[in-house]
Structure 1
C-alpha cells in the first residue's frame, strides 16, 4: 500500500515538473517570438532603404545578437528571391559580407554538422567572397563530410574560384551531377572559354557535363563549335553535338548529318531523325523513310514524327504504308497516319 502511494506521488510530481517545464519553455519561446517580431519590424525598413541606396549599411544602434543575425539572413534571403535586380543584389550581398563574415567564420568551425551546412548554403546564396578562402581551406582540411564537400564545391563554383576550376580540369573524379552543378554556377564566359580552348584536354566525363550545360544555355555563338564535335571519336560527345543542333535548330553541317542515319548506335539514329524533323530539308526524307524500318522502336517513332513535319510528310507515310514490304515501316506509318486523322477531327 505504501509503495502504491509513493508511486502515485512520484507520478504527480513528475507530471507537475513536466508541466512547469513546458510552461516555462512556451513562455520563453513566446518571448523570443515577440523579440524577433520586433527586430523584423525595425530591420525590414532599414534593409529596404539600404537596398535602394537611401542609407549605407545597417546602423550600429542595432544590437548584433543571434536573433538579429537570424532576422538579417531571412530578410535578405527574401529580398534576393523576390527581386532580380543585379544592382540591388550586389548591395544586399555586400551587407551580408559586412555583417555576417565573422559570424560565419565561427560557425564554420562549429561541432554541429547542421550549423556548418547552413552556413555553406548561406555563403552560396549571398555569394560571400569574403569567406572564399575559408571555404577553400575547410574543403582541403579532410574534416568535412561528403555532403559538406559537395556543398563547398557548389559554393566555390558560384564564387568562380579558379583553384577549383583547375582541380576539375586535372584531377576531378566527381559524379556527373556534381560536375554539371558546378558548371551551371560558374560564369558562362568561363565555361565558354574552356569549351573553345581546353575541351580536348579534359576527361570525357567533364567534357560531357560542360557540354550539357552549354546546350542548356542555347548560346547561338557555339553552333559552329558543336558542328565540329559531330566528328569526335567519342560517341558521348557526338551525341551532345546532335542534341545541341536539335536545341539550336541550326547547323552548318546539313549534308554531313545524313551519315548518322546509318550509325551503329540507335541514339545517334534517333537524334538524326529528330534534327531532320526540325530542319525539314528534302534530302532527309529518304533516310527518314529508311529509319521507319529500324530495329529500335524509338528510332522508328522519331523518324515518323520527323516526316510529319515535312510539307509532304503525310503523302510519304501513306506511300510507305501502301508499298513498303517491311512490317515495322508499314505499322509505324499507319500509326502516325491514324494520329494525323485523329488530330484533324
Structure 2
C-alpha cells in the first residue's frame, strides 16, 4: 500500500518536473526568438531611417524603399511613431500620414481583426497617431462588432472625432448616450469648429453628461463666439448646468454685463459664490465680492 502511494507520488513529481522543464524550454526559446526578432527590427530601422527622414522632409518616395515583411513594417511603425512626436510642420505631418497609409494600411487592417485585445488597441493607437484616413471605414465597422470592449469603443470614437467624421454627432447623441463626462470631453476636444458646433446646436436635447462636456470644451476653447450661448444657458438653466455655465464664462474670461453676476456674490450656495468670485477676478472688475 505504502509502495503504491510512493510510486504514484514519484510519477506525479516527475510529471510536474517535466511540465516545468517544458515550460522553461518554451520560455527560453521564446526569449531567443524575441531577441532575434528585435535585432532584425533594429537593423531595419538603421537601414530605413534616412530614407524615411528624406520622405518626411521632401515628400518623395525612394524606389528602393519597399517595406514588405512584418519586420519591415514594424521598423517603419517605430520610426513613424518617433517622428509623430517630433514633427511640427503641417507638410511634414501630411507626409507622415501619406507614408503610413501607403505602407501600413493593410498591416493595420489585419491587426484590427486580431483576436487579441492588445493587438487591436495597439493598432488603434498608431492609426490615431498617424491620422490614417484610409482605415476610417474599418474603424467605424468595429463599432458593429458584438464583442468590443469599452476601451475600444472610446478609442474608435476618438479617432472618428480626430478625423472629423460626419458620423460622430449621431453616434454620441443617439447611440452612445451613457458615456462619462470625461469620455465625452476627450472625444469632443478633438473636433474642429464645424464639427463641435453641431453639438452646440443640439445642446438642449443632449444627455446631461454630454452637456457638461460641451460646456467644458467651450471653456477650453475660450472663443468669444460662444459667449452669448453660454450666457443664455446660465440664465435659462438651474442647478449643476447653471454652475457649469458660470465656470465656462470664467474660463472664457468675459461677460456682456458683469452687474448681472454680482448678486451671486451673496448666493446661499458656496459653489456659486466661488465661481462668481473667480469670474469677477478674471475680468478684473473693480467691484468685488464681500468676504464670506
Q: Structure 1 CA distance, aligned partners of 2:135 and 2:272?
A: 45
Conserved? CA contact 2:111–2:123, under 8 Å: yes
Matches within 5 A, 1:138-287: 138-171=142-175, 172-195=177-200, 197-282=201-286, 284-285=287-288
- Of the two structures, which has the highest relative contact order with CA contacts closer than 8 Å and spacing of 6 or more? 2
Q: How far apart, in 2, do the equivalents of 1:238 and 1:109 lie?
A: 45
Deviation, 1:178, is 1.0
Give the TM-score taking structure 1 as reference length: 0.72
Give yes or no for contact 2:265–2:272 (8 Å, CA) kept in 1. yes
CA distance in 2, matches of 1:104, 1:49: 24
Q: Shift of the alpha carbon at 1:25?
A: 5.2
SS of the equivalent of 1:111 reads coil
1:99–1:266 Cα change, 3 Å: same
TM-superposed deviation, 1:63: 4.5
Matched with 2:137 is 133
Matched, 1:92 2:96: yes
Q: How far 1:94 sits from its partner (Å)?
A: 1.4
The 1-side partners of 2:22 and 2:178 are apart by 56
Check the 8 A contact 1:227/1:253 in 2, yes or no: no
Which of the two has higher C-alpha Rg?
A: 1
Say whether residues 1:49 and 2:59 are aligned partners. no
CA–CA distance in structure 1, aligned partners of residues 181 and 83 of structure 2: 32
Work out the CA distance in 2 between the residues paired with 1:178 and 1:12: 49
Aligned-residue offset at 1:164: 2.3
* Distance in 2 (alpha carbons) for counterparts of 1:148 and 1:10: 42
Partner of 1:123: 127
How far residue 169 of structure 1 moved from its aligned partner, in angstroms, is 2.5
Which whole-Å CA distance do the structure 1 matches of 2:138 and 2:102 have between them? Answer: 16
Q: Note the aligned Cα RMSD (angstroms).
A: 3.0
Question: Alignment partner for residue 34 of structure 1, among 12, 35, 39?
Answer: 39
CA distance in 1, matches of 2:25, 2:209: 60
Shift of 1:262: 4.1
The superposition leaves residues 105-127 of structure 1 with CA deviations (integer Å, 9 ceiling, x where unpaired) of: 11111111111111111111111
**Structure 1: gaps (5+ residues):** 293-299, 301-345
Shift >4 Å, 4+ stretches: 9-27
Change (3 A) 1:264 1:18: closer
Q: How many residues align?
A: 283
Assess, with a 3 A threshold, how the Cα gap between structure 1 residues 238 and 10 changes in structure 2: closer, same or farther: closer
Contact 1:246/1:275, CA 8 A, preserved across alignment: yes
Deviates more, 1:221-230 or 1:116-125: 221-230
Find the aligned partners of 2:82 and 2:89 in 1 and give their Cα distance: 13
d(CA) in 1 for partners of 2:246 and 2:203?
Answer: 17
In 2: Cα distance, 1:230 partner to 1:175 partner: 22
CA distance in structure 2 between the partners assigned to 1:18 and 1:245 by the alignment:
62
